[in-house]
Amino acid sequence: MKKLIEEFIHTGVGYNRFVFVLIIISLAACKGTEKNMWYKGNTHTHSTFSDGDTGVKEVIKWYHENDYNFLFVTDHNYPLNPDSIRLGFAQRPDFILIMGNEVSDVQVVHTSALRTSVFIPTINNYRQQLNSGEMSDAEFQSLPDTRTGILSMHVKHILDDGGLPVLNHPNFVSGVQVADILPVQGLRHIELFNGHPSVFNWGNELHSAVEVKWDSLLIHGKLIYGIASDDTHQLQRNDRELANPGRGWIMVRADALNSENIMQAISLGDFYSSTGVFLKKYNVKNNAIHVVIDKKTTLDELQKGRGYPRKDFQDVSPGFTIALVGYNGNVIKSGSADKAKYAIQPHDRYVRVRISYRVDHGGHTETYYAWTQPIEAENGFFASQ
């Protein structure tokens, strides 16, 4: 269509204002059909370029063959350019690779650098420079030594390179607490769910559940978007105790499948996170939320049985439950349904949606989730950052 219009303009042959207007209208209509498409992707993946057990081509092939639309390979401190990889198989037109890496630092501060092609320095990297004489002792002593400072350093470098920073697995080992995150400027994304079995998404003696941490950040006026990811390390064997793929992902709404649109949508929070539940419809219009569960796709996903390391975050009824979650994690409204509408009230401050599907598996239960991003009330709530 675009080529036809250009030919009309260039040649002037058969140029007719009426026909031209019809073409423009048709082009606009075609373009409109591309909008509001949902694309499935993983933001946290490892290969043998760091501590994964599988070569990068096979890792990419797994996601390609399992209906993902985009993938970030984020090996530890190893910026991988997708253009340097010869896949060895025919790539689907609806699958793209986006560059990235996981900036892995001391004090278990790990930050994904999405769409960043340069090496992001770490404290260990600076220590090597100190030992080699490239950095003075005074310069090294001036570097940050707190989790807040280290995370801030990561975020600044990633943003300076035009990338998007994501705080990874805040509940891994000693992890990162809310007090560490609050002072950090420019951070808008954290991993709400991480598929690695050593990450205590639901909390332990050292940590509140990550969802609780998320609300703690939100009530302080810090707008944060929650990401679900695999943190894939193992593909050679499928086991609940291994970091296998297919456990957590994001569904991004974009006009078209390219790195620019995907990155813009993630940056703006136009996505939902999932560990198994799919949505048929999710939109916010005139400060009203409308969500519809895609039951068939959800149940189809459940049948794949990838051994997700899950735990019930709270008591939920068997089947589908939609919970409207507001300020401080308080449930505004909850019910067993496959769709819901809600008009956000000024006193709500913000609202997000948590959808769950609880199912029995031979004497034990598992709960699959989807989380939408926080929407503030019309009178505003989140502080500018």
Task: Please answer whether residues 45 and 71 qualify as being in contact, where contact means their C-beta atoms are separated by less than 8 angstroms.
Answer: yes
Strands (E), 286-330: 288-293, 319-325
pTM: 0.88
Could you give the 3-state DSSP secondary structure of residue 204?
coil
CA dihedral of residues 122, 41, 200, 373 (deg, nearest 10):
100
pLDDT mean across residues, the chain: 88
Q: Does residue 102 carry a pLDDT above 90?
A: yes
The domain segmentation of the chain, as residue ranges, is 1-34, 36-274, 281-385
Of 123 and 358, which is predicted with more confidence? 123
CATH number for the region 36-274 comes to 3.20.20.140
pLDDT confidence of residue 34: 44
CA distances from 349 to 183, 186, 210, 380 (A): 21, 22, 20, 7
Spatial CA neighbour of 206 closest among 182, 173, 180, 181: 173
State mean pLDDT over 34-40: 81
Question: What is the rounded CA–CA span in Å between residue 210 and residue 191?
Answer: 8
Q: Give rounded-to-5 percent helix, strand, coil for the chain.
A: 30, 25, 45
Question: What is the rounded CA–CA span in Å between residue 371 and residue 369?
Answer: 7
- DSSP annotation of 25: H
Question: What is the rounded CA–CA span in Å between residue 127 and residue 137?
Answer: 10
DSSP 59-84: HHHHHHHTT-SEEE---BT--B-GGG
Q: What is the pLDDT of residues 273-293, one digit of tens each?
A: 999 999 999 999 999 999 999
State mean pLDDT over 85-104: 95
How long is the chain? 385
Strands (E), the chain: 37-42, 70-72, 96-98, 100-104, 110-114, 164-167, 189-194, 225-229, 249-254, 271-274, 279-285, 288-293, 319-325, 331-335, 339-343, 350-361, 364-371, 375-376
State mean pLDDT over 143-149: 97
Q: Within 10 A of 270 (CB to CB), how many other CB atoms are there?
A: 19
